[in-house]
Structure 1
Amino acid sequence: MNSEGSELDTDFLSRTEGLQGVYPDWRGSNMTQVERHTNCPLAAVDRRLEDAHQQWHQAEATYFDPDAFRRNIQTAIQTLRSVTFVLQNNKRIIPDFDAWYEPWRERLKADGLMSWMVEARNRIEKQGDLEAHSFVRAAIVASYLEEGPEIQVPADLFSAPWTLVKNIPDNLLGEHLRQNGVLEVERKWIENSLPEYELLDAVAIAYGRISQVVDDAHRQMGLEPPATTNMLTGEAFTDGWRNGRLPCMISHRETRTARFRLSDGTPAELERKAVKFDAAEAERVSARYDIDPKNAFGSENNNRAVLQSLFETAKKMFLADRYHDSIVFLLRNGAPIHIMSLRPEDQSQKYLMMRGVADDVVRSGADAVIFISEVWISQADPNKRYLRAALAPDRREALTATLVAKDDGPVQMVAEILRDGNDVALEQTSIVTGHAAFAFAPIYKAWGKEIPQEWLGMFDESSD
């Protein structure tokens, strides 16, 4: 768990076996690219859908170039709309096509976004360009909750976001904002007739819905639908959690957002590294810490069992190294799917870091998260809401492992740290359930899970 790690693009997914293209996610079957294009009866449909995927990425890459973005996003809309035309042109090879397709046609017709896609394609081809406008959303982030002030203005009003900074109050809240806050500036393209969606996201969602139709067409022919496979790990992603969208088309806000510390105006950037253990690393870990890396996650596909096993391993590693990196484990169905090393430099980066983890949860379809870290803990003071544990006079140090799950309350394992010069020891482990795990609020939001109201009234211990 204390690992330098290496850069790992977990979104580098293959949808055509053996094919490595410009963009990261590909649809494919167990055929090679040549075999699929030769043998798959719906190869023309698959290619057209992949064209839309690549054009979407071209629009993403030109987000800050208005003319190029306009061309690319409109091309993606036209291509995506044509997928169903190509599918209908192949109706003769799909058994009972009319009976199969009619429910899909009605479903898409009743979908407001998909109806907009039809209208948008007609406008582009018959009337001219979409009426898209660029906006800037600015917000102050100084909490794990979405409670900071924010504004949205036309993109040409560059000075407007700084009005938020000028209006910070001169009180304890203001002091907290100036010391730990971040000004987040996000650019958004919005089309006049679709104001509730960011335009790139709208097309990504529409891609997912058309992808589901194409997948079902394969099933109607007795074929396995195209799979999404991580080329580095071999993991195959099912469609249940992403509604047809490719992971690289989910949570793309980072590419169009800039952040600045309010304390000094410098860019607020994060270091997040995926951890990948190879055979040599596993052998080193086993020898140094007297553990079997294969058993680090336990023998049960159970979130709480995984938590307990990981914490036992973390304690051994802490006692050997006298420190422990901050490590996040994303799980799905009780099994680990992604591991990240997080290295925040200050409190403001911690707020952003957990929002980044929430984005990874959405992309990967994780249904549980385990976070292992050294923390400061102290008795919370309801009269000093903005006093962080790290600054409290009664602060203590602890090694913790916290589990949050989509279908379960938070569970935290805590072992207080005792230091004597270069020597370290750990107190007996305690287990806390149902505590106010505010640091995981962004992940709750990603799951569409409400923050329990009772958290707001809890003033037992705080940690950071």
Structure 2
Amino acid sequence: MNTYNRCPMPSAHKRLMDCHAMWHAMANSYMEPETFRMHLNSLIQGLRNVTFLLQKQKSELPDFTNWYSEFQDQAKSDPTMRWVVASRNRVVKESDLELLSEVKVRWVADWANKQERTFTFPPRMPSKAILASLLSTPSEKRKGVVTVSRRWVDRALPEQELLNATRKAFIRLCGLLSRAHDACGIGSCGLADRDPECVNGILTADPLSCMDINPGSLQDHFDLSAMRGIGEIYTKVPYDEAKTAKARKRYGVSDFPPGDPIELAPLVMDHARKVLSRDKHHINVVWLFRGNEVIENFAQTYADQNAKYLAFHRLADRVETLRADGILLIAEMWYVTDHKQDDKGNIIPARDRGRDRREALHVLSATREGEAVSLIAPFSRKLLGTIQLEETFTEGDVEHKSIGILSPILDRWREME
């Protein structure tokens, strides 16, 4: 039998796939107000039609009343799902949604100092003009990084940006159809893939990595100290099993067992020590977790400290997009054994300490539940570049709420509550 025919609810399932494609069309037209409005209207109707089409098949679906009633009860208590129902009625029977264009401005001076404010500007107003307007007050500080983010909201759901709201509804419906497939004894029905290539018949209750609710295309970043823009470059490297096997042999390591970022930190440090000894350096690596599963990993580079501030705030955006609940970082860092203050009483960062600073390998892990661990392995470079590593130690009294470099991620987790 053709796998396509095995789907117990092909009309509803295909309509959900339509919604996935429509979501991307809407996201791609974010800066074109009329096109965005058109795709939003279509998406809202598509989301609502998934449940209509499912209800038409209720007599053919096992135990329909029980699992669908459970979904309805959950949807009634969900502001996003109530908004979808009301919005579909408005679009079909009354008028377009009342869209509001907003600009969110984030100013970051350092790890401890951040401000966010929301303004209303015309959707096509250039970011430089927005920045000039915001900095027109002489007292405004000229330090750190400013990020200008554009966002559409509906007047009936002002607390949620529309990419985020519609993605939430899509995820909720994925869960519903997944439950329906399970009731029919079919885990995967193999509907044909579509364009864009990420649109397929897979049903998951977790956020899809392709549905980025904080895309870089909707943000502009400015270095206030240098008064210039900061650009983002993202390069995707496909997985290559042959290269992975070669790396295992080079460093004498094996794959990591399942575990959360706290459990894996010592194993990752052992691995990182071997890489540093062999290669004489270690790149900055980020692992994002959901439970005991690594859902994304990548390397980060930054030209200077302001770019580093920006990189970690963009990392917080990615944590929110993927609903990651754990993070693990591997990096080289400057390390000191004491604290010194400048003439204003501020602690001098290790990077600015000069000759009394040392190099160290650092593995830092944290979870949304409040756990944190910081492992440090000091090292020195000998003649001919040889690395002399000291014993790894655990940094004492690491408080989840006070980890400077991870503060953007910790703040975002609190906001996500």
Which residue in 2 is equivalent to 1:91?
58
Deviation at 1:139, TM superposition (A): 2.1
Alignment partner of 2:79 out of 99, 109, 112:
112
Deviation at 1:78, TM superposition (A): 1.0
CA 1:391 to 1:128, structure 2 compared with 1: closer, same or farther past 3 Å?
same
Distance 1:316 1:237 in 2: 40
Alignment partner of 2:409 out of 440, 443, 446:
443
Unaligned runs of 5+ in 2: none
Q: Write the letter of the residue equivalent to 1:152.
A: F
Q: Deviations over 1:327-386 (max 9, x none)?
A: 122344445443211111111221222233333334445443221111113444465437
Q: Deviations over 1:390-432 (max 9, x none)?
A: 1124432222111222345321221223234543322332211
Which residue in 2 is equivalent to 1:137?
104
**TM-align CA RMSD:** 3.2
Distance 1:125 1:237 in 2: 28
Alignment partner of 2:350 out of 389, 407, 421:
389
CA 1:111 to 1:421, structure 2 compared with 1: closer, same or farther past 3 Å?
same
Which residue in 2 is equivalent to 1:353?
311
Alignment partner of 1:162 out of 129, 132, 144:
132
SS of the residue 1:323 aligns to = coil
CA 1:227 to 1:400, structure 2 compared with 1: closer, same or farther past 3 Å?
farther
Alignment partner of 1:207 out of 162, 170, 187:
170
Distance 1:284 1:444 in 2: 36
Q: Write the letter of the residue equivalent to 1:388.
A: P
Which residue in 2 is equivalent to 1:432?
395
Distance 2:81 2:378 in 1: 54
SS of the residue 1:41 aligns to = coil
CA 1:330 to 1:110, structure 2 compared with 1: closer, same or farther past 3 Å?
closer
Q: Write the letter of the residue equivalent to 1:209.
A: R
Q: Write the letter of the residue equivalent to 1:316.
A: K
Q: Deviations over 1:257-297 (max 9, x none)?
A: 111221333331244556666344245435544x13x24x3
**Contact 2:339–2:347 (CA<8 Å) still a contact in 1?**
no
Is residue 184 of structure 2 the alignment partner of residue 216 of structure 1?
no
Deviation at 1:449, TM superposition (A): 8.3
Please identify, of 416-425 and 113-122, the stretch whose mean Cα deviation from structure 2 is larger: 416-425
Displaced runs of 4+ in structure 1, greater than 6 A? 225-229
Matches within 5 A, 1:190-269: 190-224=153-187, 239=205, 242=206, 245-269=207-231
SS of the residue 1:72 aligns to = helix
Distance 2:108 2:315 in 1: 16
Which residue in 2 is equivalent to 1:42?
9
CA 1:276 to 1:208, structure 2 compared with 1: closer, same or farther past 3 Å?
closer
Q: Deviations over 1:24-67 (max 9, x none)?
A: xxxxxxx9xx622x221201110011111111110100000111
Distance 1:146 1:121 in 2: 42
Alignment partner of 2:148 out of 169, 182, 185:
185
Q: Deviations over 1:299-321 (max 9, x none)?
A: 56364452222212222222232
**Contact 2:181–2:187 (CA<8 Å) still a contact in 1?**
yes
Deviation at 1:208, TM superposition (A): 1.9
Which residue in 1 is equivalent to 2:259?
301
Alignment partner of 2:48 out of 60, 77, 81:
81
Deviation at 1:88, TM superposition (A): 1.2
Is residue 335 of structure 2 the alignment partner of residue 373 of structure 1?
no
CA 1:146 to 1:116, structure 2 compared with 1: closer, same or farther past 3 Å?
farther
CA 1:194 to 1:301, structure 2 compared with 1: closer, same or farther past 3 Å?
closer
Unaligned runs of 5+ in 1: 1-30, 451-464
Matches within 5 A, 1:327-342: 327-342=285-300
CA 1:254 to 1:434, structure 2 compared with 1: closer, same or farther past 3 Å?
farther
Q: Write the letter of the residue equivalent to 1:391.
A: D
SS of the residue 2:135 aligns to = helix
Which residue in 1 is equivalent to 2:35?
68
Please identify, of 69-78 and 388-397, the stretch whose mean Cα deviation from structure 2 is larger: 388-397
Please identify, of 382-391 and 107-116, the stretch whose mean Cα deviation from structure 2 is larger: 382-391
SS of the residue 2:229 aligns to = coil
Distance 1:414 1:51 in 2: 49
Distance 1:409 1:97 in 2: 41
Pairs aligned (count): 398
Distance 1:73 1:123 in 2: 13
Deviation at 1:186, TM superposition (A): 0.9
Deviation at 1:168, TM superposition (A): 7.0
SS of the residue 1:213 aligns to = helix
SS of the residue 1:309 aligns to = helix
Is residue 367 of structure 2 the alignment partner of residue 399 of structure 1?
no
Q: Write the letter of the residue equivalent to 1:427.
A: E
